[in-house]
Amino acid sequence: MSHNIVINPFKIILLLFLIASCSTLVEDKNTNKNNVMYKIQSIDSNFSNLETLLFVDIGTQSLLHIKKGTVLKYYSISSSYYGTGSKENSLKTPLGRHEIYKKIGNGLPNNAILKGRVWNGAIADIIVEPIDTDFDHVTSRILWLDGLEVGKNKGKGIDSRNRYIYIHGTAEEGLIGKPASDGCIRMYNKDVIELFDLVDEKAQVWIY
């Protein structure tokens, strides 16, 4: 008995396209990671002495979790829609060296909405489309940042801690990967929960 095997050329083309697309995405991610590492090296060649470093790269909208000079994880983020800067009420993301001042939200459910750093029981509806809403919900976890550079991100009128600059989850996950926040660093909720559990208060956070 013979069996005729019908090969659909469209399916083959589609499969080849998907394979090529995945390979390109991996290659682009590795290239971005390597470029960011070169950038960190140029900022301070002694960065590998730090036990933990979270490096936020505005250009690639990424955050690297680095331990003793080794990259543990590469995350996509969103910085401010309004650009970078430290001026109070500017809604911009401050540059420079920071540290984690306080961790907030330990044990809260995924997508919990925090208002004034307190959960009142509300859970966010996550928007996976690239839609900018009227809300800037802070969700799941907060890593509250404190500037370390007087005159740049610490001090009167430019103080990151007093501006309530956080790394936090967002309901607008569809906008992750491009500038979209009102000053903070947004992450996917699953990512910020993971990161929250891996870092301690006083860990350094560099934003460049």
pLDDT computed for residue 55 by the predictor: 98
Q: What is the pTM of this model?
A: 0.85
Contact criterion met (CB below 8 Å) for 102 and 108 = no
What are the start-end ranges of the E strands in 48-155? 53-57, 62-67, 70-78, 96-104, 112-115, 118-123, 138-147
2 pLDDT band (50/70/90 cuts)?
Answer: very low
pLDDT of 139 > 90? The answer is yes
Cβ–Cβ contacts within 10 Å for residue 57, how many?
22
Rounded mean pLDDT of 135-150?
97
Contact criterion met (CB below 8 Å) for 157 and 87 = yes
pLDDT of 25 > 60? The answer is no
Q: Give the Cα separation of 192 and 200 in Å (integer).
A: 13
pLDDT computed for residue 16 by the predictor: 58
176 or 20, greater pLDDT: 176
98 pLDDT band (50/70/90 cuts)?
Answer: very high
CA distances from 67 to 14, 70, 188 (A): 40, 5, 21
Rounded mean pLDDT of 53-70?
98
> How many C-alpha atoms does 207 have within 13 Å on its Cβ side?
32
The mean predicted confidence, pLDDT, of the chain is 91
pLDDT computed for residue 149 by the predictor: 98
Where do the domains of the chain lie?
A: 46-207
Contact criterion met (CB below 8 Å) for 103 and 148 = no
Rounded mean pLDDT of 175-189?
98
32 pLDDT band (50/70/90 cuts)?
Answer: confident
pLDDT of 155 > 50? The answer is yes
Q: Which residues contact 86 (CB under 8 A, 6 or more apart)?
A: 92, 94, 95, 96, 147, 152, 153, 158, 160, 163
pLDDT of 108 > 70? The answer is yes
Rounded mean pLDDT of 74-91?
98
CATH 2.40.440.10 fits 46-207, yes or no: yes
Q: Which residues contact 32 (CB under 8 A, 6 or more apart)?
A: 60, 62, 74
pLDDT of 154 > 50? The answer is yes
Rounded mean pLDDT of 86-102?
98
pLDDT of 194 > 60? The answer is yes
pLDDT computed for residue 9 by the predictor: 55
